[in-house]
Structure 1
Amino acid sequence: MYQNVLFDLDDTLLDFQAGQQAGITKILQSQGVQDIERGLAAFKQINQHVWQQIEQGADRQPLFDQRFNDLFAQFDKQVDGLALQQWYAKMEAANYHTMPDAHAILQQLSNNGVHIYAASNGETGMQQQRLRGAGLLNYFDAVFISEELGVAKPDPRFFEQIITTCPVLTCKNTVMVGDSWQSDVRGAQNAGLDCIWITPNDQVPSAKFDHQIKIAHDLKQAVQLILK
């Protein structure tokens, strides 16, 4: 049994995709876009590229401020990308959707004496607000966000800073739980941490696994592995 668990937030405990789809749909409709599915797919591709750059050390804000200009350029529309980004940020901060069983599994871990920490990329204030709004914040011993740490997953320094900040965390008694192969799994492994990868679609890369990586199909299975 692990004594400590680091949880990714978006699409692990918080249902980021549900809130994102609703927010982007509103923005597309506000600019007269008819093909919403095309718009959602285009934004997903742009946003993935943005986060790849952030994970490689790029400054997040200029990328965020530009992404809606890039999106609507695909529809031959000129927009105020900064204003749309500010609107989207407000909607994103109010996205309190949780993944199925999030409350129950956090309570179960707490009841078993496991210490719970958040380890997420993103903006500190926004992620804190979302956890509070979703009613999850009180489950955590501490919340670690990339903006505050100054480095993002998968950089192993993200995890190393967390361990340095909390001396009770060690590579032997701590596990990282997340949905991203690159950010959560590879990042944690490169820092010497065990990891539980939540992959509901069985999309397992053709890579060599070792004892540090365990696979769960959902949060319930992840908890079983934590408490095993």
Structure 2
Amino acid sequence: MLKACIFDLDGTLLDRDGSLPAFLERQHERYFDALGSIPLEVYQQRFIELDQRGYVWKDVVYQQLLEQFQIEKIDADTLLHDYVEHFHLDCRAFPGVHETLQQLQDKGILLGMITNGRTQFQRKNFQAIGIEKYFQVILISEQEGIAKPAAEIFEKALRLLNVKGHETIFVGDHPANDVQAARAIGMKGIWKRDDYWPEPAESDGIIVQIPELLAHIDKIEKSIRLSNEK
């Protein structure tokens, strides 16, 4: 029987691809005197390219941006501070996230979250989209001193939820850091499709939208019941 479902945050529950351009538009407006020589669309596109799906921290991104466009009226630290303080204001959840989390909770499934990133920054982001209330366990890599794909952070979540790997599903958009890492310690790994990443070699299901997870859970639970009956 499945007892728990653990989620990644960015690209899985939080629509970062939708949130980031909205934030960048506001930032461009706030600092138009310094950034106005860069067309908004160019500013957004280049930031997103340098950001590499969030895997490059923003001090590096902003420094590269300013150097590339020869901007001298503002420094990278100012833009980084603005990002840290204001990004959450433009955060949005993927469609159906709240409803799906509520239905999982109603089924008696324990919920956890494991996200890589800076503690206060990530906390403000998931609080902004109103999902904190659904989770019994939330682990953030900076706070824990360890990040996905290390097995230890997955194992800690299992211990805190008091469940075993084979009783748990992990849902994430990164084929290696999420799906493969979870499966390596015995969890079921569901990939939330992201065309930026190659499809994982192995998974226990692929979804495009979060509400599709419910059907996969029903299918996995049925398979477990049939296996136990043999």
Same fold per TM (> 0.5)?
Answer: yes
Asked whether the 8 Å contact 1:5–1:117 carries over to 2, the reply is yes
Deviation at 1:33, TM superposition (A): 3.7
Equivalents in 2 of 1:67, 1:41: separation in Å? 12
Could you state the TM-score of these two structures normalised by the residue count of structure 2? 0.82
Q: Which residue matches 1:154?
A: 149
Look up the SS of the partner of 2:90 in the other structure: coil
Q: How does 1:34-183 map to 2 (within 5 A)?
A: 34-48=38-52, 51=55, 63-78=57-72, 79-164=74-159, 166=160, 168-183=162-177
Is the alpha carbon distance of 1:135 and 1:26 closer, same or farther for their aligned partners in structure 2, counting shifts above 3 Å? closer
Q: 3-state DSSP class of the match of 2:166? A: coil
1:110 CA displacement: 0.7
The aligned counterpart of 1:8 is 8
Q: Is the 8 A contact 1:198 1:222 kept in 2?
A: no
What SS is found at the alignment partner of 2:5?
A: strand
Q: Work out whether residues 178 and 185 of structure 1, in 8 Å CA contact, stay in contact via their aligned partners in 2.
A: yes
Secondary structure at the aligned position of 1:161 is classed as helix
Query: Structure 1 residues 192, 45: CA separation in 2 closer, same or farther (over 3 Å shift)?
Result: farther
> In terms of Rg, which structure is larger?
2
Runs of 4+ in 1 over 4 A off after TM superposition: 200-204
Q: Deviations over 1:147-188 (max 9, x none)?
A: 111122222232123234x26121110111011223211222
Query: Is residue 212 of structure 2 the alignment partner of residue 208 of structure 1?
Result: no
Partner amino acid, structure 2, of 1:27: Q
Q: Which runs of 5+ in 1 are unaligned?
A: 53-62
Change (3 A) 1:215 1:47: same
Structure 2 CA distance, aligned partners of 1:216 and 1:116? Answer: 18
TM-aligned CA deviation for residue 81 of structure 1: 0.4
Q: How large is the Cα RMSD of the aligned pairs? A: 2.4
The one-letter code sitting in structure 2 at the alignment partner of 1:224 is: A
Distance 1:73 1:50, change over 3 A: farther
2:179 maps to which of 185, 191, 197 = 185
Mapped partners of 1:93, 1:119: distance in 2: 18
Provide the rounded CA distance (Å) in 2 between the counterparts of 1:20 and 1:200.
Answer: 16
User: What per-residue deviation string (whole Å, max 9, x for no partner) do you get for residues 26-84 of structure 1?
Assistant: 334521143333322221222228716xxxxxxxxxx4323201112221223310111
What letter matches 2:154 in structure 1? F
Task: Give the CA deviation at 1:227.
Answer: 3.4
Aligned twin of 2:223: none
Q: What is the letter of the counterpart of residue 179 of structure 1? A: D
Contact 2:151–2:181 under 8 Å retained in 1: yes
- Aligned amino acid, residue 2 of structure 1: L
For these two proteins, the number of residue pairs brought into alignment is 214
Q: Is the 8 A contact 2:113 2:139 kept in 1?
A: yes
Cα pair distance change 1:65/1:204, threshold 3 Å: closer
Output the CA distance in 2 between the equivalents of 1:7 and 1:192: 16
Query: Are the equivalent residues in 1 in contact too, given 2:175–2:197 (CA < 8 A)?
Result: no
